[in-house]
Structure formats: C-alpha cells, structure tokens
C-alpha cells in the first residue's frame, strides 16, 4: 500500500493519526449500520417463530432417479441424430453438385464435359489478361495454355514472338526516328494478336463441343428436394436434446439430494452458534470498512483539521463553518459574520472579494452567507457568478440562471438588465448577477474591454461585492475584472484532497489574486438546485403565464 508523504511541517505520527481519525469518522455510520443489523437479525432469530422441520432419518436411503435407462435412450437418440445429419449433408451436396446440370450424361461424358469446361475457363482468363495487358508475357502465358497444347501454329508464333523480343532487346530506342525498333514492336504485337486469335478460335471449338454434348442429353436435371432430410434431421436433434435435458435434470436432482444429505450430516456433527457467527461477521465487516477507508485516505489524503489546511495552503483560517444552521439560534458566533469582519475591519476596507474552491455548492453557500452578513451591516452588496457552467449562485438563491454575467460580458445585455434584487423583501440590499447562458464563443477584445469598464463603473455603486469563481478559468476571469482581488479559498474537512488545496492555493497566487485566507467547511455539504431544474422551472413558468385577454 503506497503511502503519500505528509507535509513537511507535520510529524509522521501526527499525519497518520489525522488519517486514522478521518477513516474512523467515515466508518462510524458503517459501523452503526452493522451493529443495528446484528441486533435486528439476533432478535429475529430468537423471537420470530420458525417452522418445524422434519428431520430426515440418516438410515433411510436417498431417493435417486434411475439415469441408466435415460443414458441408453440418449445414446440411441444421438446416433439417430448423427445418421439424419449425414443423410441431410449428402442430400445437400448432391443438390449443390447435380442441380441444374445436364441430365442423362454417363460418367465418361460428364468427365469429358468437366474437362472441356475447365479448359474453356482457363482460356477465358488468359484471353482476358492478353486483352487487358497486351504484353509479351501475357501472350506467352496464353500460348502455354493446356487447350493450345499440340497446336503447331501457336508454337511457331511463340517462337517468332521470342525472336522478335530478343532482337528488340538488342536495340536501344533512340527516339521517334528509330524505325527498326518500332518495326520490331509492331511485328511482336502482330504475333501476340495472332496467338490471341488462335486462342479465341480454340475457345469457340470448345464451346461447340460442349454444346453438341449437351444436345445429346435430355435437358437439365430436376432440383433435388432437401426439405424432407432437413425435417428429419431437425426432429432427430430435438429428440436428442429432450432426452439430454431429462438426463441433466435427473443428474442435477441426484446431486442436490446428495449435497443435502452431506449438509445435514455436517450440520449434525458440527453446529456453530449463530450469535457467535453473527458477531464475527459484524467485527470483520467493521474492520474491513475501516481498513478500506484508511487505505483510501493514505493513498489520497484529505484535510483532517483547519490547522492542517492552514499549514498546507500557507494562509490563515478566516472562518470554520460547522453547524451553520443552529449557531445563530443558540447564541453562537456566526462564522460568516466573522469572515465579513475579517475582510472589512482592517485599515483599508475591502470592497471586492473573490470566493473560490473545489465544490460549487460550498462556494455558493459561503458567498451567499457572506453577502447576507454584509447586507445586515447596512452595506449595499452585489453577488456576481462568473461561472455559467455551474450556475451555483442561481441554484443557491433559486433564481433562473439566464440572462446573467456571460450575457452582459458578451455585450448582449447591460449589467443592470441582468441584475436581480434578492433581499428587498427582508429589508436587505442584496443584488445578484447569475452565471448567464453557456456560450461556446468568446467575445472579441473590444467587447471584453468595454464590458470590463462598464462593470467597474457598475461595481462602484455598491459597498461590497462578492465574486463567485469556482474554477481556474473563472478565477482568471475574475482577476481580469478586478485587479488583484482579495480571494477566499474554500475547503471541506474530509473531502478536499491535500494536493488539491495546495495546487488551488498556488493557482490563486499565480493568477494575480491575493489569497487572503481560508474558509473551512466542516458540515454536511449543502444541496443546490441544478441548472437544468432551474431552466425547466423557468420554461414551465413561462408556459403557464396567461396571455393578454385570455380566460
């Protein structure tokens, strides 16, 4: 099991202890479920009435099916199926060979016709070759055909062809005025053409001989019927399969009976207490679950505590969100109020904050609660979502994601047109710019510059601005809107990988932003409304909207 190296600032024992603590937390629910299952099964074993089982007498013989007769029937059925299969194959071969052939030919006549057909086929191929490629090699191959053996004229033409080719090879063509070379070429082609004509005549003679032989017969043979042999073969196969199935069922029943008898014998001789067995299984399951979680945590370590996150990111902890729903009601300190005060209670008041991290729901929740704390302090607050793909801000507030930031940045809408007031009903000054439509094409440079200038003027109207930038691309976009924005990186205890937090902190610093601190999430992950559901709800609302003058 490969172990990941701990951070340099932490000791090995401390690092392993943190991993074990996380593995124990993840295994807690699993262990509780295992213990609950153990007690439920235990109660069912002791208190649920069982049906009385009739014990089998060990001396009584087992009921076994007789498979000897079935085996004999199966052998006979397989022999019959093999015979029917061979009969069908023979009929099929006869049908393929004799179907459509001339009828009434003797064996000698059929052999003669087959040899003539073979010679004709060879001549057809060689004649086609000599026609398509009129070369000496093609003519020479045609003259060597079996059908032209013994033809003295073809032999003389072949000798002439060879002589012309040798004489032409001895000459070196010098151009268009080399008359001897051209004359030899013409004679060579004439000899080849003569060989081809002789082959054509021989092919015609073969065709006439086969035609005369066919006229002596009584026409073509009728097709051979293969239906009856095929039906007989299929029936034999079905009968063999049925007997095989019955034999397999009988053998399976005998094996089951023997297995049941052996199991009863073993159970009588060695009976394990059910309670001990259940307890052992429960302990093994809990140990296996803890081992699996510990192995996964060591292979890919995650944050175990805010102190570890502070050491990995080399940034201070601004807020730790644990029980965010109950803290305000029981008089606890709101972590997001503390986050807001940490951002604004310095000598230079921060007006724009970028919130980033690895979980869109956590980032949107931190941004929303930070905006609520600013609005409660009588600050006009603007929340901007620069990530149209996730639309986390729209999911947090339950608003439609379009139109939004991407539309205003592309110059399709004005910034005021895509801004929506969220906290007006509660007396809070919170405006939201959702992510907007998902656009595949980027606007040109002039449009981007104009949108940045307009956004700067629009942002100046607010006391506090929160930019939600969950991805690396959106953080770069946020840095292009605001120079060196103060950034809060969100991380989750037990979920954010240490390597991921370290790379995120390095990316924030390299992108030109100022990593002000960390917001640690140590609670259940918030649930946001997905973008698709928000869009469907928006379409449904437009569909149900009554038309003017309608009933």
DSSP 466-483: EEE--SHHHHHHHHHHSS
> How far separated are the first and last CA of the chain, in Å rounded?
71
* Confidence category of residue 49, pLDDT binned at 50, 70, 90: low
* Confidence category of residue 41, pLDDT binned at 50, 70, 90: low
pLDDT of residue 3: 39
Write the pLDDT tens digit of every residue in 180-201: 888 888 888 888 888 888 888 8
Write the pLDDT tens digit of every residue in 414-447: 888 888 888 666 667 888 989 888 888 888 888 8
pLDDT of residue 329: 40
Residue 326 scores a pLDDT above 50: no
Cα dihedral 129, 134, 138, 139 in deg (nearest 10): 120
Q: Are the C-beta atoms of residues 517 and 315 closer than 8 Å to each other? A: yes
For the 306-544 domain, the top CATH level (class) is: alpha beta
Q: Are the C-beta atoms of residues 489 and 515 closer than 8 Å to each other? A: yes
In sequence order, what are the residues at sequence separation of 6 or more whose Cβ sits closer than 8 angstroms to the Cβ of residue 425?
Answer: none
Burial of 309 (0-12, 13-18, 19+ CB in 10 A): buried
Better pLDDT: 354 or 107: 354
pLDDT of residue 149: 84
pLDDT of residue 168: 83
pLDDT of residue 137: 86
Q: Please tell me the distance from the alpha carbon of residue 267 to that of residue 58, in angstroms, as a whole number.
A: 12
Poorest-pLDDT segment among 197-211, 283-297, 406-420 = 283-297
- For residue 488, the tally of other CB atoms under 10 A from its CB is 27
In the sheet with 420-421, reading across from the earlier edge strand, the strands are 317-321, 514-521, 486-492, 352-357, 464-468, 381-385, 430-433, 420-421
How much is the CA Rg of the chain, to the nearest whole Å? 47
Q: Please tell me the distance from the alpha carbon of residue 158 to that of residue 136, in angstroms, as a whole number.
A: 10
Q: Give the mean pLDDT of the chain.
A: 77
Regarding beta strands 514-521 and 317-321, do their DSSP bridges make them parallel or antiparallel, or are they unpaired? parallel
pLDDT of residue 53: 43
Write the pLDDT tens digit of every residue in 197-221: 888 888 888 888 887 776 766 555 5
Query: What whole-number percentage of the chain has pLDDT above 90?
Result: 1
What mean pLDDT do residues 56-63 have?
54
In sequence order, what are the residues at sequence separation of 6 or more whose Cβ sits closer than 8 angstroms to the Cβ of residue 375?
Answer: 381, 423, 428, 429, 430
Q: Greatest CA span in the chain, whole angstroms?
A: 123
Q: Please tell me the distance from the alpha carbon of residue 148 to that of residue 178, in angstroms, as a whole number.
A: 35
Q: Which of 114, 115, 105, 107 is nearest to 217 (CA)?
A: 105
Q: Is the peptide bond before 181 cis (omega within 30 degrees of 0)?
A: no
Residue 2 scores a pLDDT above 50: no
Regarding beta strands 430-433 and 514-521, do their DSSP bridges make them parallel or antiparallel, or are they unpaired? unpaired
Poorest-pLDDT segment among 53-57, 344-348, 524-528 = 53-57
* Confidence category of residue 327, pLDDT binned at 50, 70, 90: very low
pLDDT of residue 103: 55
Q: Are the C-beta atoms of residues 432 and 397 closer than 8 Å to each other? A: yes
Q: Which of 304, 239, 390 is nearest to 19 (CA)?
A: 304
For helices 335-344 and 360-376, angle between their N-to-C axes, nearest 10 degrees: 70
Q: Which of 543, 466, 415 is nearest to 403 (CA)?
A: 415
What mean pLDDT do residues 248-272 have?
77
Write the pLDDT tens digit of every residue in 331-347: 457 888 888 888 877 65
* Confidence category of residue 109, pLDDT binned at 50, 70, 90: confident
What mean pLDDT do residues 472-498 have?
85
pLDDT of residue 54: 43
Q: Please tell me the distance from the alpha carbon of residue 392 to that of residue 401, in angstroms, as a whole number.
A: 9
Give Cα separations from 424 to 25, 445, 449, 550 (angstroms): 42, 36, 32, 32
Under DSSP, the state recorded for 413 is S
Residue 8 scores a pLDDT above 70: no
Indicate whether this model's pTM tops 0.85. Answer: no
Please report which residue ranges of 225-319 form alpha helices under DSSP H.
227-269, 274-299, 306-313
What mean pLDDT do residues 480-502 have?
85
Write the pLDDT tens digit of every residue in 77-87: 888 888 888 88
Residue 551 scores a pLDDT above 70: no
Q: Which of 31, 50, 28, 27 is nearest to 39 (CA)?
A: 31
* Confidence category of residue 245, pLDDT binned at 50, 70, 90: confident
Domain positions in the chain are: 14-46+65-99+228-301, 101-215, 306-544
* Confidence category of residue 105, pLDDT binned at 50, 70, 90: low
Query: What whole-number percentage of the chain has pLDDT above 70?
Result: 72
pLDDT of residue 55: 46
Q: Are the C-beta atoms of residues 321 and 524 closer than 8 Å to each other? A: no
What mean pLDDT do residues 308-337 have?
74
């Amino acid at each position: 099991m490969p172990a990941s190296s701990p951070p340099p600032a932490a000791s090995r024992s401390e690092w392993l202890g943190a991993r074990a603590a996380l593995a124990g937390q993840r295994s807690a629910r699993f262990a509780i479920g295992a213990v609950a299952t153990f007690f439920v099964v235990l109660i069912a074993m002791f208190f649920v009435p069982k049906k009385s089982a009739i014990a089998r007498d060990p001396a009584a013989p087992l009921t076994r099916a007789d498979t000897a007769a079935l085996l004999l029937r199966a052998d006979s059925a397989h022999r019959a199926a093999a015979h029917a299969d061979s009969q069908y194959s023979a009929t099929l071969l006869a049908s393929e060979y004799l179907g459509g052939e001339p009828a009434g030919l003797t064996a000698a006549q059929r052999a003669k016709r087959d040899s003539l057909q073979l010679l004709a086929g060879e001549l057809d191929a060689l004649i086609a070759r000599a026609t398509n490629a009129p070369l000496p090699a093609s003519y020479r191959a045609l003259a060597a055909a079996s059908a032209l053996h013994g033809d003295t004229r073809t032999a003389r033409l072949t000798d002439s062809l060879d002589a012309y080719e040798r004489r032409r090879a001895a000459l070196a063509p010098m151009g268009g005025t080399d008359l001897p070379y051209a004359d030899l070429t013409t004679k060579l082609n004439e000899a080849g053409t003569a060989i081809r004509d002789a082959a054509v005549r021989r092919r015609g003679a073969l065709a006439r001989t086969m035609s005369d032989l066919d006229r002596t017969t009584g026409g073509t043979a009728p097709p051979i019927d293969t239906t009856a042999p095929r039906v007989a073969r299929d029936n034999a196969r079905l009968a063999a399969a049925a007997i095989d199935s019955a034999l397999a069922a009988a053998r399976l029943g005998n094996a089951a009976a023997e297995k049941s008898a052996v199991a009863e014998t073993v159970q009588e001789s060695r009976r394990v207490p059910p309670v001990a067995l259940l307890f052992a299984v429960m302990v093994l399951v809990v140990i296996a679950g803890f081992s699996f979680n510990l192995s996964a945590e060591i292979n890919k370590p995650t944050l175990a505590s805010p102190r570890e996150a502070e050491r990995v990111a080399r940034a201070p902890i601004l807020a730790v969100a644990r029980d965010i729903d109950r803290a305000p009601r029981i008089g606890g300190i709101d972590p997001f109020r503390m986050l807001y005060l940490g951002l604004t209670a310095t000598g230079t008041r921060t007006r724009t904050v970028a919130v980033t991290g690895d979980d869109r729901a956590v980032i949107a929740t931190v941004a929303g609660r930070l905006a609520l704390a600013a609005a409660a302090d009588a600050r006009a607050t603007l929340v901007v979502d620069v990530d149209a793909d996730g639309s986390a801000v729209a999911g947090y507030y339950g608003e439609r994601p379009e139109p939004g930031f991407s539309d205003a940045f592309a110059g399709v809408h004005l910034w005021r047109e895509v801004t929506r007031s969220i906290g007006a009903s509660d007396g809070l000054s919170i405006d939201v710019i959702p992510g907007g439509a998902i656009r595949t094409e980027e606007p040109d440079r002039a449009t981007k510059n104009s949108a940045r200038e307009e956004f700067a003027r629009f942002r100046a109207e607010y006391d506090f601005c929160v930019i939600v930038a969950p991805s690396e691309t959106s953080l770069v976009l946020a840095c292009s809107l605001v120079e060196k924005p103060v950034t809060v990186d969100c991380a989750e205890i037990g979920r954010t990988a240490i390597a991921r937090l370290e790379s995120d902190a390095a990316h924030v610093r390299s992108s030109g932003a100022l990593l002000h601190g960390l917001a640690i999430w140590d609670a259940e992950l918030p649930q946001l409304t997905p973008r698709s559901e928000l869009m469907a709800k928006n379409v449904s609302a437009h569909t149900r909207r009554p038309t003017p003058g309608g009933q």
